[in-house]
Chain A
Amino acid sequence: QQQVKQSPQSLIVQKGGISIINCAYENTAFDYFPWYQQFPGKGPALLIAIRPDVSEKKEGRFTISFNKSAKQFSLHIMDSQPGDSATYFCAASIEFGSSNTGKLIFGQGTTLQVKP
C-alpha cells in the first residue's frame, strides 16, 4: 500500500520528442504527488508537483497528468532536450491529517536520455 510503481525504468527519446513517465499508487490517502529530477552526481531536486484536486498541471515544458480514479499520474516532457537527460522520480506523500510525517515514498526512477 505504501508503494509507488514507476515505469519505464529507462527511456530514450530524440531531441524535440515527448518523454512520458508513468506512476501508479495504491494508498488513497496520498494527496501530494511531486516529481524530482536528479542529474548524475547531484541530489534530487523538485521539478513539479500536483495535488489530486486538479487533473493537470503545467510548468513550461513539463506537465503532470493526474487520474485519481485510476490512481495514476504521469510526467510529460514536451520538446525534450539533451539537457533534460537525467533520472526522474515520482513520489507521493500524505499532506494533511495526523498521518502526515512529511514522508515521501519514491518510485523506482526513470533514466531519461535525450539524443541530439
Chain B
Amino acid sequence: DTAVSQTPKYLVTQMGNDKSIKCEQNLGHDTMYWYKQDSKKFLKIMFSYNNKELIINETVPNRFSPKSPDKAHLNLHINSLELGDSAVYFCASSPYLRGSYEQYFGPGTRLTVT
C-alpha cells in the first residue's frame, strides 16, 4: 500500500564508494523527483523526470546520475561518494508535470559517508 517507497532506508558507506538508492511509486504518477535534505533540514530539488524524460537537473555534481527505467521508478546512483554527500535523500512523485499538484514524498534514505 506504500505510495512512494525508497530502498534502502539507511545507507552507511565509506568515501570513494559508489552507491544507489531506489525509488518506486504505485500512484500512477507521471512525474518523479529527487530531493536532498541537509543536516539543517534544508530541502533542495536535485532532479525531476516526467515520463522517463529528464526535466530538472539542478546544479548537482555529475557524480550523481538519476535513471528512470519506467515512469514508476526513479533511481539515484552516486559515484565516488564524499563526506558532503551525507544527507537524507527523498524521492517524490506528482500526478503531472504542468500545473501544481501535491508532491508525495517517500520516507527518505539517510546516507552517511564516513
Contact = CB atoms under 8 A, between A and B. Distances in A.
Interface in B39-84: 40-45, 48, 50, 55-56
Nearest to B96: A102
A88 B108 CA distance: 17
Contacts of B4: 43
Interface residues of B, number: 28
B34 interface: no
Contact of B106 (A32, A43, A96, A101): A43
A41 to B, nearest CB: 8
A42 interface: yes
Given A41-B108, A43-B4, 14 more contacts: A43-B92, A43-B106, A51-B100, A93-B100, A95-B99, A101-B56, A102-B97, A102-B103, A103-B45, A104-B103, A106-B42, A108-B42, A109-B40, A111-B41
Interface of A: 32, 34, 38, 41-46, 49, 51, 87, 89, 93, 95-96, 100-104, 106, 108-109, 111
Interface of B: 4, 31, 33, 40-45, 48, 50, 55-56, 90, 92, 94, 97-108
